[in-house]
Structure 1
Amino acid sequence: MPEKIFKYILLSLLLQSTILSYSQPKHIGIPQVKNYNTSKMHAGAQTWMIDIGSNGLAYFANNNGVLEFDGINWRNHPLPGGILVRCIKAAQNNKLYAGGFNEIGYLLPNDKGQLNYHSLIEKLPEDARDFGEVWRIYDLPVGIVFQSYEQLMIYNNGHFKIIDAPEMFHFSFLVKGELYINDQTKGLYRLANDQIVKVPGVSQVAGELIWSMLPKGDDILIATDDDGIFVFDGLKLKEWKNPAARLLKKNQVYTGLSIDDETYAFGTIQDGIVICDTAGNLLQHLNMDRGLQNNTVLSLKLDQYKNLWLGLDNGIDYIEINSPLTYFSEFNALSTGYAAILHNNMLYLGTNRGVFYHDWQELQKGGGSQTFKLVPGTQGQVWNFDVFDGTLFCGHNSGVFTIEGTRAELISDIQGGWTFIQPENKNDIVLCGTYTGISKFEKINGQWVENGKLGGFKESTRYLVQGKNNTFWISHGYKGIYRVNVDSNYDSIINFELYNSDDGFPVDKNLNVCNLFDKPVFTTGQGFYRFDSVNNKFEPDLKLNKRFPRQDIRLMHPDDAGNVWYFTIDDAGVYRLQEDGSYVDVFLPFKELNRRFIKWFQFVYPINDNHVIFGLQDGFAYYTPQYPKDYQYEFNAYIRKATLTKTDSVLYMGQTQNKDFFVGIPYRFNQIKFELAANDFENPKKLVFSTKLEDFDEEWSPWRSNPVREFTNLAHGEYTFKVRAKNIFDNISNTGSIDFEIYAPWFLSWWGYALYAAIVGMFIFSMVRYVRYRTEKTKREEEEQQKRLFQEREKRLQNNALRAEKEVIRIRNEKLRAEMKQKDKELANNTMEMIQKGKLLTKIKKELNKLSTEFNDDIINNHINRLIRRVDKELDTEQQWEVFEKHFENVHEEFLKRLKAAYPDLTPREMKLCAYLRLNISSKEIAALMNISTRGVEISRYRLRKKLQLSHDTNLTDFIISF
Structure 2
Amino acid sequence: MKFTVFTLLLLASLQLYSQTGNYFLSHYTPGEDRFDEVCFDIAQEKSGLVYFATRRGILEFDGRNWNTLLNDGAVYSIQITPSGELYWAGAAGYGTIAPRNIGNRKTTVISPKGVTDVFQCLIQEKKSYFVGENSLYIETPGQATLTVSATKQTGAFGSIFEIFGAVYVNTAHMGLFKVDGNKLVRSRLNFSNTEEVVFSQGYDNQYLIGLSDNNVYLVGENLKPRLIVLEDEMYASASVIVSGTWINKDMFVLGTLRGGLIFVQASTGKTQEIVNYNTGLPDNEVYALMSDQSQSIWAAHEYGFTRVSPYLPFRSFSHYNGLAGNLHCARDFQGNVYAGTSVGLFKLEKEELYDEITYFTEVTEKKPATTVTQATTPAPATQTTPTTPTTETTQPATESKRKGLLRFLKKNRSKESAPVVTPARPAETTTAPTPNPSVTPPPGTVKRRIKKSQRVLRTTTYRYKKVQGINAKITQLVIVNDKLIAVGLGGAFEIEGLTARPILEEPVRVAYASRNLKMLLVSTYDDEIRAFTPDATGWAPSSILSTVNDDIEAITDGNNQDLWLCAPDKVYHLDVATGTLKNVEGLPISNPTLNKTACVRWNKEIVLAHKDGFFRFDEPQHTFVRIDSLPKPVLHFSDGEDILYNDGRTWNILGKTHGQSNLQLLNLLQNLRFVTIDQNGENLWVVTGNNELYKFYGEKLTPYEIGNKPLLKAARNENETMDLSDFALDETKSSLTFDVIQPDYLAPQSIEYRYQLGGLEDEWSDWSVSNNIINFAYLPSNDYVLMVQSRDIFGKIRELPTVAFEVLPPYWKRPWFYALEFFVFSALVMLSMRLSSRFRIISRVLSLLTIIMLLQFIQTVIAETFETRTSPVIDFFIQVVVAFMILPVEGYLRNLMLKEGTLAGRLQRFLTPEAAPADDKKD
Query: Which residue of structure 1 lines up, in the alignment, with residue 282 of structure 2?
Result: 293
Give the letter for the 1:149 counterpart.
Answer: E
Query: Which residue of structure 1 lines up, in the alignment, with residue 31 of structure 2?
Result: 39
Q: Closer, same or farther in 2 for the Cα pair 1:370/1:766, shift >3 Å? A: farther
**Distance in 2 of aligned mates of 1:425 and 1:474:** 14
**Distance in 1 of aligned mates of 2:50 and 2:720:** 26
What is the CA-CA distance between 1:106 and the residue it aligns to? 0.7
Name the Cα RMSD after superposition: 4.0
Contact 2:260–2:276 (CA<8 Å) still a contact in 1? yes
Say whether residues 1:386 and 2:373 are aligned partners. Answer: no
**Distance in 2 of aligned mates of 1:145 and 1:776:** 84
Map of 1:93-112 to 2, 5 A cutoff?
A: 93-101=83-91, 103-108=93-98
Say whether residues 1:318 and 2:382 are aligned partners. Answer: no
Say whether residues 1:134 and 2:118 are aligned partners. Answer: yes
Say whether residues 1:499 and 2:587 are aligned partners. Answer: yes
What is the CA-CA distance between 1:257 and the residue it aligns to? 0.3
Q: Closer, same or farther in 2 for the Cα pair 1:754/1:349, shift >3 Å? A: same
**Distance in 1 of aligned mates of 2:661 and 2:326:** 23
Contact 1:636–1:736 (CA<8 Å) still a contact in 2? no
1:98-122, Cα deviation, whole Å (9 max, x unpaired):
0013601111269872123211123
Query: Which residue of structure 2 lines up, in the alignment, with residue 537 of structure 1?
Result: 623
**Distance in 1 of aligned mates of 2:660 and 2:488:** 32
Q: Whose helix proportion is higher, 1 or 2?
A: 1
Query: Which residue of structure 2 lines up, in the alignment, with residue 455 of structure 1?
Result: 546
Query: Which residue of structure 1 lines up, in the alignment, with residue 412 of structure 2?
Result: none
Query: Which residue of structure 2 lines up, in the alignment, with residue 650 of structure 1?
Result: 721
**Distance in 2 of aligned mates of 1:452 and 1:526:** 34
Say whether residues 1:434 and 2:421 are aligned partners. Answer: no
1:342-390, Cα deviation, whole Å (9 max, x unpaired):
2232111234443222248999xx9864553432443443232223344
Query: Which residue of structure 1 lines up, in the alignment, with residue 599 of structure 2?
Result: 513
Does the residue aligned with 2:700 lie in a helix, a strand or coil? coil
Say whether residues 1:401 and 2:493 are aligned partners. Answer: yes
Residue of structure 2 aligned with 1:471, choices 541, 562, 582: 562
Query: Which residue of structure 2 lines up, in the alignment, with residue 798 of structure 1?
Result: none
Does the residue aligned with 1:54 lie in a helix, a strand or coil? coil
Give the letter for the 2:716 counterpart.
Answer: T
What is the CA-CA distance between 1:48 and the residue it aligns to? 0.8
**Distance in 2 of aligned mates of 1:467 and 1:148:** 77
What is the CA-CA distance between 1:702 and the residue it aligns to? 1.5
Query: Structure 1 length normalisation: TM-score?
Result: 0.67
What is the CA-CA distance between 1:474 and the residue it aligns to? 0.6
Query: Which residue of structure 1 lines up, in the alignment, with residue 686 of structure 2?
Result: 614
What is the CA-CA distance between 1:595 and the residue it aligns to? 7.2
Say whether residues 1:67 and 2:157 are aligned partners. Answer: no
**Distance in 2 of aligned mates of 1:749 and 1:230:** 70
Query: Which residue of structure 2 lines up, in the alignment, with residue 185 of structure 1?
Result: 173
Give the letter for the 2:51 counterpart.
Answer: Y
Does the residue aligned with 2:899 lie in a helix, a strand or coil? helix
Does the residue aligned with 1:145 lie in a helix, a strand or coil? strand
What is the CA-CA distance between 1:401 and the residue it aligns to? 1.2
Contact 1:480–1:509 (CA<8 Å) still a contact in 2? no
Residue of structure 1 aligned with 2:190, choices 197, 202, 212: 202
Say whether residues 1:153 and 2:150 are aligned partners. Answer: no
Give the letter for the 2:550 counterpart.
Answer: E
**Distance in 1 of aligned mates of 2:798 and 2:755:** 12
Give the letter for the 2:617 counterpart.
Answer: R
Contact 2:47–2:708 (CA<8 Å) still a contact in 1? no
Give the letter for the 2:137 counterpart.
Answer: M
Say whether residues 1:78 and 2:170 are aligned partners. Answer: no
Q: Closer, same or farther in 2 for the Cα pair 1:701/1:334, shift >3 Å? A: farther
Contact 2:214–2:241 (CA<8 Å) still a contact in 1? no
Query: Which residue of structure 2 lines up, in the alignment, with residue 305 of structure 1?
Result: 294
1:684-739, Cα deviation, whole Å (9 max, x unpaired):
21222222222112122222222322212321233333433222222223314544
Q: Closer, same or farther in 2 for the Cα pair 1:691/1:593, shift >3 Å? A: closer
What is the CA-CA distance between 1:395 and the residue it aligns to? 1.4
Give the letter for the 1:447 counterpart.
Answer: G
**Distance in 1 of aligned mates of 2:317 and 2:467:** 17
Does the residue aligned with 1:94 lie in a helix, a strand or coil? coil
Contact 2:248–2:295 (CA<8 Å) still a contact in 1? no
Query: Which residue of structure 1 lines up, in the alignment, with residue 645 of structure 2?
Result: 567
Q: Closer, same or farther in 2 for the Cα pair 1:181/1:380, shift >3 Å? A: farther
Q: Closer, same or farther in 2 for the Cα pair 1:208/1:643, shift >3 Å? A: same
Query: Which residue of structure 2 lines up, in the alignment, with residue 681 of structure 1?
Result: 745
Residue of structure 1 aligned with 2:508, choices 413, 416, 439: 416
Say whether residues 1:733 and 2:805 are aligned partners. Answer: no
Map of 1:522-671 to 2, 5 A cutoff?
A: 522-523=608-609, 526-527=613-614, 529-532=616-619, 536-538=622-624, 552=633, 566-568=644-646, 572-574=651-653, 583-584=657-658, 586-593=660-667, 596=670, 598=672, 602-606=675-679, 611-617=683-689, 618-624=691-697, 625-629=699-703, 633-645=706-718, 648-652=719-723, 661-671=725-735
Contact 2:327–2:339 (CA<8 Å) still a contact in 1? yes
Percent of aligned pairs with the same amino acid: 18
What is the CA-CA distance between 1:146 and the residue it aligns to? 1.7
What is the CA-CA distance between 1:252 and the residue it aligns to? 1.1
Q: Closer, same or farther in 2 for the Cα pair 1:406/1:329, shift >3 Å? A: same
Q: Closer, same or farther in 2 for the Cα pair 1:103/1:411, shift >3 Å? A: same
Contact 2:479–2:513 (CA<8 Å) still a contact in 1? no
Contact 1:54–1:94 (CA<8 Å) still a contact in 2? yes
Give the letter for the 2:693 counterpart.
Answer: F
Residue of structure 1 aligned with 2:466, choices 348, 365, 374: 374
Query: Which residue of structure 1 lines up, in the alignment, with residue 769 of structure 2?
Result: 705
Residue of structure 2 aligned with 1:771, choices 899, 902, 905: 899
Give the letter for the 1:467 counterpart.
Answer: G
Residue of structure 2 aligned with 1:281, choices 270, 283, 289: 270
**Distance in 1 of aligned mates of 2:639 and 2:703:** 24
**Distance in 2 of aligned mates of 1:471 and 1:214:** 64
Query: Which residue of structure 1 lines up, in the alignment, with residue 453 of structure 2?
Result: none
Map of 1:160-171 to 2, 5 A cutoff?
A: 160-165=145-150, 166-171=154-159
Contact 1:142–1:193 (CA<8 Å) still a contact in 2? no
Contact 1:45–1:314 (CA<8 Å) still a contact in 2? yes
Q: Closer, same or farther in 2 for the Cα pair 1:20/1:735, shift >3 Å? A: same
Contact 2:27–2:307 (CA<8 Å) still a contact in 1? yes
The structure whose Rg is larger is 1
**Distance in 2 of aligned mates of 1:325 and 1:379:** 30
**Distance in 2 of aligned mates of 1:510 and 1:112:** 51
Does the residue aligned with 1:661 lie in a helix, a strand or coil? helix
Contact 1:291–1:331 (CA<8 Å) still a contact in 2? no
What is the CA-CA distance between 1:612 and the residue it aligns to? 4.0
What is the CA-CA distance between 1:586 and the residue it aligns to? 1.6
Q: Closer, same or farther in 2 for the Cα pair 1:700/1:442, shift >3 Å? A: closer
What is the CA-CA distance between 1:91 and the residue it aligns to? 1.7
Query: Which residue of structure 2 lines up, in the alignment, with residue 346 of structure 1?
Result: 336
Structure 2's unaligned 5+ residue stretches are 354-457, 830-849, 852-892, 908-923
Query: Which residue of structure 1 lines up, in the alignment, with residue 920 of structure 2?
Result: none
Does the residue aligned with 2:236 lie in a helix, a strand or coil? helix
Q: Closer, same or farther in 2 for the Cα pair 1:576/1:433, shift >3 Å? A: closer
**Distance in 1 of aligned mates of 2:163 and 2:307:** 24
Q: Closer, same or farther in 2 for the Cα pair 1:22/1:397, shift >3 Å? A: same
1:303-344, Cα deviation, whole Å (9 max, x unpaired):
223222222244222333442223333676477654333223
Contact 1:229–1:239 (CA<8 Å) still a contact in 2? yes
- For structure 1, which segment, 400-409 or 238-247, has the greater mean C-alpha deviation from structure 2 after superposition? 238-247
**Distance in 1 of aligned mates of 2:707 and 2:106:** 28
**Distance in 1 of aligned mates of 2:905 and 2:210:** 110
Q: Closer, same or farther in 2 for the Cα pair 1:588/1:388, shift >3 Å? A: closer
- For structure 1, which segment, 292-301 or 732-741, has the greater mean C-alpha deviation from structure 2 after superposition? 732-741
**Distance in 2 of aligned mates of 1:649 and 1:218:** 48
Query: Which residue of structure 1 lines up, in the alignment, with residue 404 of structure 2?
Result: none
What is the CA-CA distance between 1:89 and the residue it aligns to? 0.7
Query: Structure 2 length normalisation: TM-score?
Result: 0.70
